[in-house]
Amino acid sequence: MTYRRRLGSLVIIDSIIVLTTIYLCYFTLHPYFAVFTETALIVSSITLLASHHIFAYIYRLYKRAWEYASIGELISIGKSVTFSIITLAIVQDIVIGNVYVRVLMLTWMMHILFIGGSRFSWRIFRDSIIKDTTIKKRTLIVGAGAAGTMVARQLLHNHEVDLLPVAFVDDDIKKQRLQILDIPVLGGVDTIEKVVKEEKIDNIVIAIPSLSRKELNDIFQECSKTKAKTQIMPMIEDILVGKVSVNSFRDVQVEDLLGREPVQLDIESISDNLTGRTILVTGAGGSIGSEICRQVCKFNPKTIVLFGHGENSIYLIDMELRGRYGKKVEIVPVIGDVQDRSRVFEVVETYKPALIYHAAAHKHVPLMEYNPHEAVKNNVIGTKNVAEAADTFGIDTFVLVSSDKAVNPTNVMGATKRVAEMVVQGLSSHSNTKFVAVRFGNVLGSRGSVIPLFKKQIEQGGPVTVTDPEMTRYFMTIPEASRLVIQAGSLARGGEIFVLDMGEPVKIVDLARNLISLSGYTEDDIEIKYTGIRPGEKMFEELLNEDEIHPKKVFEKIYIGKTNGVDIQVVNEIIEKFMELSSVELRDTLLKAASKHNIVEKSEANGIL
């Protein structure tokens, strides 16, 4: 029904109700009290009809969605009717010279009854008749606070949603055993498994916006003991600004279960560092590189140069950024390989960026064990090319994207990353360019990471392969990794290695179990199979060597490693020898070179090689 038709219908219904109530009162009381003359009846009817519509307009009775009527709407009806009767009493006293109190009292009561009944009957109809026509999933709401109540009310009133709230759980003992919107609070979080079983729950909605990630993880572990699908309500901020509705639930993501809060940015310092400047990102088509580009564009740089050797990946990020930021930021896609020294120098000289984020790298540990020369060419020589171009053309800041596998490396990939760090630390000692490196752990969802592999294995029905039940890793999200890189650029002074406080390491097997549960399965459905540690892998990762540890944070959740002296000439001599070696010799030499954290004298290099 259109607004005009709806308004017309309500005005007609209310007019009938107003006239009916006053005439009904007249005929009810007249035989006993001789209350009205015909003139008084006509004056009272016209006055009450006019005043009702005036106050109905003032209190917006015709604009309310009565299918969602509650106590607020009842109060509005009460005010409108009461002021209409008061107006009638005043008119009776002035025009007729007498106030008919009995008629007014009975009219007020019948007016409230009929107007309220006409409105609430539609809600009763929707709640009792319409909802019974669809089969809904029985839903448990975790959290009986304001957010949980909001969710329950929306689910009860929105019949397009196929969820029916039947119970709450909340750790607040003051709420337990009470009823909210006729829905019982059956216990605390520790009773979720029992409640799901007894109430035949199909869905669980977590409705506590203030939860920390650790608390969310604890609740999810309780939910994962059941077969019910677990979802989480959207952020209150998104609801308030209209991005989503209260009942736009999303599935719990692995990122929600990291057990720590995400890293936040120092917006002011980053804005000063990026706004209106030219930025170059190598590996711009990769998981980390493309996200760095997205984050950088939010700060309105003058130009962003997307450097990468993959034509399709550069095309995709180029088109995405043009669609979102093309009117504000000049976007320049450049196809090139960091191993091509002349191409790198040409690009840096042409665009003269203020900052270079170097994200181009080979990062797959087992593959690099079989291809050590390619790892050296891309991760070491490629870094050397870009870093020396930055030094040659006086670039302000160079940020290397490194890895926690560079600490005490046991594999080719980690060793090449450590040597790449040595390159930038060595250049930092005599260059005007601020060279820094950023280390972080495994990035959830990046290409080659364990998450896409696990998801694919789950889709295929299993098994999910885990190397060892005790293996642990530090995890972070792609946006977090990119923010750390950008933040490091604004904090750079030269020679530092920045490290994210990544909380406690996560067992790979726990990650696999969470993914299985999030996918709607149990370990009875999807088997976890242990395959043994692969070549080059470690049982656990470290973020800093003992001689690099600096206990003070330079920014919230960001540590800085102590700068160690590195002789760039010695590093260059080592790199020159790398390509002359066989694959086996190269692997051993890489690991030895990477274990030397303070390469100062050439005799050390000669000893290594």
Q: Which residues are catalytic?
A: 405
Beta bridge partners of 229: 203
Count how many Cα atoms sit within 13 Å of the Cα of residue 300 in the half-sphere of its side chain.
7
Element of type H or E holding 330:
strand 330-335
Neighbours of 141 (CB within 10 A): 28
> Are 391 and 397 spatial neighbours (Cβ–Cβ below 8 Å)?
no
Which of 246, 201, 250 has the alpha carbon at shortest distance from 222? 201
Strands 558-561 and 497-500, by their bridges, are antiparallel
Query: Alpha helices, DSSP H only, in 285-361?
Result: 287-297, 311-325, 341-351
Burial 346-384 (b: 16+ CB within 10 A, else e): ebbeebebbbbbbbbbbbebeebbebbbebbbbbbbbbb
3-class DSSP assignment, residue 362: coil
3-class DSSP assignment, residue 232: strand
Which DSSP string corresponds to 78-147?
HHHHHHHHHHHHHHIIIIIS---HHHHHHHHHHHHHHHHHHHHHHHHHHHHTGGGGS--EEEEEE--SHH
Element of type H or E holding 29:
helix 3-33
> Are 220 and 211 spatial neighbours (Cβ–Cβ below 8 Å)?
no
Element of type H or E holding 250:
strand 250-251
> Are 422 and 409 spatial neighbours (Cβ–Cβ below 8 Å)?
no
3-class DSSP assignment, residue 438: strand
Distance (Å, whole) CA 306 – CA 246: 39
**Region for residue 395 given its phi and psi (left: phi exceeds 0; alpha: psi -120 to 50; beta: otherwise):** beta
Distance (Å, whole) CA 582 – CA 331: 42
**Region for residue 183 given its phi and psi (left: phi exceeds 0; alpha: psi -120 to 50; beta: otherwise):** beta
**Rounded to the nearest 5 degrees, what angle is found at the Cα of 107, between the Cα atoms of 104 and 111?**
140
